[in-house]
Structure 1
Amino acid sequence: MTRAPGMSVRLKLTLSYAAFLMVASVLLLAAVWLYLLRYVPARASQTIGGFVPGRDDLIRAFGPVVTVVLLFLLVVGLVGGWFLAGRMLVPLDRITEATRRAAEGSLSYRIRLEGRNDEFRELADSFDAMLARLEAHVAEQQRFAANASHELRTPLAITQTMLEVARNDPGHTDDALVERLTAVNARAIDLTEALLLLSRADQRSFTREVVDLSLLAEEAAETLLPMAERRGVTIETSGDIALTLGSRALLLQLTTNLLHNAIVHNLAERGTARVVTSLESGSVALVVENTGEQVPAQLLSTLTEPFQRGAERIRGDHGGVGLGLAIVKSIVNAHDGTLTVIGRPEGGMLVTVQLPAVPSGDAR
């Protein structure tokens, strides 16, 4: 937007300081003048004690002094105001410089304003916090774009290789090629749908309604029961009615993803996946716990990032596309909740999702 040039804030503050000083000085001198007039007669007179000046004499004596004083105060107001305004605006100059650098793409710069807490310090600290979050978000998006490109390129490269091998192999069978291409294509479709779901959650483009997490836990358990039976994993669901406001489809996807991970990354036999819902003061919780191998601490901190998998996550027939917990994290953030992932000492993981509870007046 093009704007007409105007006075700087420093000049405006300087003129304001000088104007205030002049007004205060004029009022003070006016008060002194009125006070003196009470004791000065209208005309000069000669008395026994000597000559008594009149008001005309007082004006001739007092006028030049007042003029000099006012001019001096005006100069002091302008010079002092310019200096004080400059001192006051130093933090604002640093904030402006940080804003300019951020606009140019330098998100690592921080203001780090010194001194005690005041309005400028709060503004600078808030701006530093915003830059830190923005820098982390941009870095995450860059990693996501790179990983997504790699993940999307892999099925295409596999398909291209298979077609070239089939073209150069006269003894190949179309049925085997079709079966392999179908599997690769299914993986590409799953990845694309996961990316679309992740984008939908990040944009918060959904209608909110009252959702009971306990019902979603039962629905997810019923859906994944056949897979759990094939893997020898027992599913347990329990807990209280837990009402929250959000998208039923997204929250069901969240519950299904967590339970799916709990089943897939479990013991080879006689494993357990447990889903518990609870209602606390002002929030509801969905806890998914499973047995399994111990998860390294350094791996836990990366599991919610897109396309991050542990060694055990890339083996088997349900390796996924590496977006399960990333989607869960995005859905939780879109519903203003918190996600906690910890490793159980005896093996497996404990994942806790906390969401705002429905106010008692809104529950239907």
Structure 2
Amino acid sequence: MGRAPGLSVRLRLTLSYAGFLMVAGTLLLATVWVFLLRYVPDSTYLGPGPFSPTRSDLMDAFVPRAAQAMAFLLVFGLVGGWFLAGRMLAPLTRITSATRRAASGSLSHRIDLEGRQDEFRELADSFDAMLARLEAHVAEQQRFAANASHELRTPLAVMQTLLDLARRDPGGDTRTLLDRLYVVNGRAIDLTEALLVLSRADQRSFTRERVDLSLLAEEATETLLPLAEQRGIVLETSGDVAPAIGSPSLLLQLTTNLVHNAIVHNLAEGGTVRVTTSVRPETVELTVENTGDVLDPRRVPTLAERFRRGSERIHADHVGAGLGLAIVASITEAHDGALTLAPGPAGGLCVTVRLPLAPA
């Protein structure tokens, strides 16, 4: 936005310092003048005794000296004010330079303002923290865009290859080709929907209302019960009424992702999934725990990263897009909650989502 040019802050501060000094000097000289006038007569006393000056004599002697003092104060105020304003505004110059570099696209630099805590130091520290968050966010978005492009390119390339084979062999098995295209296209659609959910959660573009996590847990387990029975997994749901504030659809997506992940990444036979809800003094908890292979504790915290697949836990019949727990983490963060992943002592994974308790 274009603005008309104006005086610099340093010049305005200099003029303010000089003006204040002139006003203070004028008041001081006025006070001295009034004080002297009380003891000086209007006319000369001609009687015996020493000579007494009159007010006119005092004015002749006082006014030139007062003018000289005011001129000195003016010069001193301008020079001293310019110097002091420069010293005071030096941190602001560094902050402005850092802001311009950030506006040009550089997010790796920091102000790192030295000195004790004051308003400028607080502003610089807040700006450095903002730059750090922006740099991490941009880096995450770049990795996400690259991974998403790679993940979407794979099914598209497979479909292109299948179509090329069908073109070169018009008399081939059309049924098999359609089945393969159906599977690959379904994976691309699932990935696209997952990306849309992530985008919606990251932008927090949803309406918040009262939600009971226990009802969402029951709905998710009922929906995924056929999949669990197909794999021989036992689903167990228990817990208390857990009221939270958030988006019902997103929280249902979160719960469904957790239960689905627990079913898919489980034992080949005789596995279990336990879904529980509980209420704490200020939070509500949703816990999904499953049986499975023993996990490396060092790798467990990375499972919620986007496009991170737990390759040691994935069976050959289900690969996934690597966004299940990433969506859970994003939805949890959008609802001001906390996500905890911990390996089970005998194998499997225990995931706990903590959300703020809804007011009564």
Q: TM-score band, normalised by the shorter chain? A: over 0.9
Once residues 117 and 345 of structure 1 are traced to their aligned partners in structure 2, the CA distance between those partners, rounded to angstroms, is: 47
How far 1:119 sits from its partner (Å)? 1.1
Pick closer, same or farther for the CA change 1:100–1:314 going to 2, 3 Å.
farther
Counterpart in the other structure of 1:256: 256
Is 1:130 the counterpart of 2:156 in the alignment? Answer: no
Q: How does 1:1-364 map to 2 (within 5 A)?
A: 1-169=1-169, 172-312=172-312, 315-360=315-360
Residues 156-182 of structure 1, C-alpha deviation per residue, up to 9 Å, x if partnerless?
100111122233346621111111111
Q: In angstroms, what is the RMSD of aligned CA positions?
A: 1.6
Contact 1:214–1:277 under 8 Å retained in 2: yes
Pick closer, same or farther for the CA change 1:345–1:29 going to 2, 3 Å.
farther
How far 1:249 sits from its partner (Å)? 0.9
Once residues 214 and 354 of structure 1 are traced to their aligned partners in structure 2, the CA distance between those partners, rounded to angstroms, is: 13
Once residues 72 and 240 of structure 2 are traced to their aligned partners in structure 1, the CA distance between those partners, rounded to angstroms, is: 79
Once residues 44 and 288 of structure 2 are traced to their aligned partners in structure 1, the CA distance between those partners, rounded to angstroms, is: 102
Once residues 346 and 282 of structure 2 are traced to their aligned partners in structure 1, the CA distance between those partners, rounded to angstroms, is: 31
Once residues 238 and 125 of structure 2 are traced to their aligned partners in structure 1, the CA distance between those partners, rounded to angstroms, is: 45
Contact 1:273–1:288 under 8 Å retained in 2: yes
Scaled by the length of structure 1, the TM-score of the pair is 0.94
Scaled by the length of structure 2, the TM-score of the pair is 0.95
**Tell me, what secondary structure is at the counterpart of 1:146?**
helix
How far 1:229 sits from its partner (Å)? 2.2
The one-letter amino acid of 1:310's match is G
Pick closer, same or farther for the CA change 1:109–1:47 going to 2, 3 Å.
farther
Once residues 143 and 121 of structure 2 are traced to their aligned partners in structure 1, the CA distance between those partners, rounded to angstroms, is: 33
Once residues 314 and 167 of structure 1 are traced to their aligned partners in structure 2, the CA distance between those partners, rounded to angstroms, is: 34
Q: More displaced, 92-101 or 203-212?
A: 203-212
Once residues 236 and 46 of structure 2 are traced to their aligned partners in structure 1, the CA distance between those partners, rounded to angstroms, is: 115
Once residues 226 and 259 of structure 1 are traced to their aligned partners in structure 2, the CA distance between those partners, rounded to angstroms, is: 12
Contact 1:289–1:351 under 8 Å retained in 2: yes
**Tell me, what secondary structure is at the counterpart of 2:51?**
strand
Structure 1 segments unaligned to the other structure (5+ residues): none
How far 1:313 sits from its partner (Å)? 5.4
**Tell me, what secondary structure is at the counterpart of 2:312?**
helix
Once residues 210 and 355 of structure 2 are traced to their aligned partners in structure 1, the CA distance between those partners, rounded to angstroms, is: 12
Contact 2:265–2:315 under 8 Å retained in 1: no
How far 1:84 sits from its partner (Å)? 0.9
**Tell me, what secondary structure is at the counterpart of 1:238?**
strand
Residues 118-157 of structure 1, C-alpha deviation per residue, up to 9 Å, x if partnerless?
1111111111111000000000110111111111111110
Pick closer, same or farther for the CA change 1:42–1:346 going to 2, 3 Å.
farther
Contact 1:313–1:319 under 8 Å retained in 2: no
The one-letter amino acid of 2:235's match is I
Once residues 174 and 275 of structure 1 are traced to their aligned partners in structure 2, the CA distance between those partners, rounded to angstroms, is: 43
How far 1:24 sits from its partner (Å)? 1.1
Q: More displaced, 22-31 or 133-142?
A: 22-31
Once residues 347 and 241 of structure 1 are traced to their aligned partners in structure 2, the CA distance between those partners, rounded to angstroms, is: 29
Structure 2 segments unaligned to the other structure (5+ residues): none
